[in-house]
């Protein structure tokens, strides 16, 4: 009974449900593209109106794979914050910060490393997958194995209830739930179990039809000007049956049309589908309709980015303020966790 009384007090509101708290991060990989925009940033933006939000650049996570080539990390952090601002992330409504400026993440990670069995980490599917994919790099490091555990620390430091991520990240959120459960059971009921919130358009195709990714060289970046966007998307792969203008195709088998699904109106899509199936339009005509919408969305962002770029020190300022606010919350959680552990 005593154990029961101890539980469910600290992290819950009077109604017995924790207030929604959103946490998510991105590794500083360089220029953001349409995949990030539709896969994450649009939903982050929506969430900042509804919940307490913490969004950070995961520079420690970048080290797990880039430890041998760290030159680009600092530049990429700056570029990422500028991109966030450009798409409308608001440092007033969200706490925007840099992971390595909040040491509490690392302390929680250390504490979790004492209670989490290594096989839990070895069986996270991304572990073996990534090791195989990124061959030529020695990824037998402790840090790489611990990647999802650091992510668990990121998330629990703010007692997050919701974690907007792409599908590939769900196993990491699941591990976080297991970490929270184990901690709560061993010591005290401190952490809510966060839910992974799958963002709808998590898989945006690149110009070659594979998932859009900087490393594939198939991305449309948020820094691209209208000409660059037009050039890239005009060359995007389509239904291979449309070899000639007179060959009919099917939008269902067309990678480009997945962008139409995101960007065009239902009326436009219906008309273009008809045109594709009857070969009454060419692929370029069809794409032009979509390209117009993409440019209309990205161009104001590119211009806003340029405005922010003109303000010296704007990124530093935002990260200093965000770091302060993040540390306040994360340090309070850390103190609670240490006390629960008897430290
Ligand atoms: N692992 C995530 C990715 O590669 C980035 C990340 C780090 C993250 N910590 C996080 C995402 C915490 C959500 C919550 O995309
Ligand atoms: Fe794709 Fe449009 Fe060409 Fe059809 S007409 S294959 S939908 S680009």
pLDDT digits (tens, 9 = 90+) for 48-59: 989 999 999 999
The CATH topology of domain 7-203+312-341 is: Rossmann fold (3.40.50)
242: Cβ–Cβ under 8 A, 6 or more apart, which residues? Answer: 248, 249, 276, 279, 283
Nearest of 332, 337, 333 to residue 188 by alpha carbon: 337
Question: What average pLDDT does the segment 65-70 reach?
Answer: 92
- Cα–Cα distances (Å) from 154 to 25, 157, 174, 301, in that order, read 8, 6, 14, 28
Q: Which residues pair with 163 in a beta bridge?
A: 196
**pLDDT of 338 over the 90 cut:** yes
Question: What average pLDDT does the segment 189-215 reach?
Answer: 90
Which ligand lies nearest the alpha carbon of 130?
A: 1
Write down the mean pLDDT value for the chain.
93
pTM confidence score: 0.91
**pLDDT of 3 over the 50 cut:** no
Give CA–CA dist 176/187, Å, rounded: 16
Question: What average pLDDT does the segment 227-237 reach?
Answer: 98
Q: Which residues line ligand 1 (CB under 6 A)?
A: 23-27, 58, 61, 151, 154-155, 163, 165, 169
Q: Which residues pair with 198 in a beta bridge?
A: 165
**pLDDT of 312 over the 60 cut:** yes
Question: Who wins on pLDDT, 154 or 203?
Answer: 154
Domain boundaries, the chain: 7-203+312-341, 226-307
Count of CB atoms situated within 10 Å of the CB of 231: 14
Give CA–CA dist 270/245, Å, rounded: 19
Q: How far is CA 119 from the centre of its chain?
A: 26
pLDDT of 201 reads 65
**pLDDT of 11 over the 50 cut:** no
326 pLDDT tier (thresholds 50, 70, 90)? very high
**3-class DSSP state for residue 165?**
strand
Question: What average pLDDT does the segment 301-311 reach?
Answer: 95
Give CA–CA dist 288/268, Å, rounded: 11
pLDDT of 14 reads 46
Question: Who wins on pLDDT, 138 or 23?
Answer: 23
pLDDT of 29 reads 87
pLDDT > 70: percent of the chain: 95
pLDDT of 217 reads 93
**pLDDT of 243 over the 90 cut:** yes
Query: 238 CB under 6 A from ligand 2?
Result: yes
Question: What average pLDDT does the segment 172-198 reach?
Answer: 97
CB 112 within 8 A of CB 179: yes
16 pLDDT tier (thresholds 50, 70, 90)? low
User: Which of 58, 167, 174, 175 to probe ligand 1 with, by most ligand atoms within 8 A of CB?
Assistant: 58
Question: What average pLDDT does the segment 262-277 reach?
Answer: 98
The dihedral over CA atoms of 235, 236, 238, 242, expressed in degrees to the nearest 10, equals: 0
Q: What is the pLDDT of residues 159-168, one digit of tens each?
A: 999 999 988 8
214 pLDDT tier (thresholds 50, 70, 90)? confident
Domain 226-307 has CATH 2.40.30.30: no
pLDDT of 5 reads 40
Query: 286 CB under 6 A from ligand 2?
Result: yes
293 pLDDT tier (thresholds 50, 70, 90)? very high
Query: 289 CB under 6 A from ligand 2?
Result: no
Q: What is the 22 CA–ligand 1 centroid distance (Å)?
A: 12
Same fold, 7-203+312-341 and 226-307: no
Question: Who wins on pLDDT, 272 or 13?
Answer: 272
**Which DSSP letter does residue 54 get?**
E
């Amino acid at each position: 009974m005593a154990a029961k009384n101890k539980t469910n007090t600290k992290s819950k509101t009077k109604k017995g449900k924790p207030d929604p708290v959103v946490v998510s991060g991105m590794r500083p990989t360089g220029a953001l593209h349409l995949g990030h925009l539709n896969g994450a940033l649009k939903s982050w933006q929506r969430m900042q109106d509804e919940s307490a939000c913490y969004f950070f650049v995961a520079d420690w996570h970048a080290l797990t794979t880039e430890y041998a080539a760290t030159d680009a990390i600092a530049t990429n952090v700056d570029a990422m914050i500028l991109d966030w601002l450009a798409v409308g992330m608001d440092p007033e409504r969200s706490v925007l910060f840099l992971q390595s400026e909040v040491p509490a993440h690392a302390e929680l990670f250390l504490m979790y490393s004492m209670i989490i069995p290594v096989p839990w980490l070895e069986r996270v599917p991304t572990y073996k997958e990534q090791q195989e994919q990124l061959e030529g790099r020695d990824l037998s490091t402790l840090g790489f194995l611990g990647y999802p555990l650091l992510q668990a620390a990121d998330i629990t430091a703010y007692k997050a209830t919701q974690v907007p991520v792409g599908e590939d990240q769900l196993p990491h959120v699941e591990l976080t739930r297991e970490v929270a459960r184990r901690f709560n059971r061993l010591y005290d009921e401190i952490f809510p179990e966060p839910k992974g919130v799958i963002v709808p358009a998590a898989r945006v195709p690149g110009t070659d039809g594979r998932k859009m990714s900087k490393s594939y060289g198939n991305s449309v970046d948020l820094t691209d000007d209208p000409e660059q966007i037009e050039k890239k998307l005009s060359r995007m792969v389509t239904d291979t049956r449309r070899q000639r203008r007179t060959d009919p195709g099917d939008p269902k088998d067309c990678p480009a049309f997945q962008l139409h699904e995101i960007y065009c109106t239902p009326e436009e899509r219906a008309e273009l589908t008809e045109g594709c199936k009857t070969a009454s339009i060419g692929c370029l005509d069809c794409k032009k309709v979509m390209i117009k919408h993409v440019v209309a969305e990205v161009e104001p962002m590119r211009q806003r980015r340029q405005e922010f770029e003109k303000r010296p020190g704007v990124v530093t300022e935002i990260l200093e303020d965000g770091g302060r606010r993040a540390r306040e919350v994360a340090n309070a959680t850390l103190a609670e966790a240490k006390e629960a552990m008897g430290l």
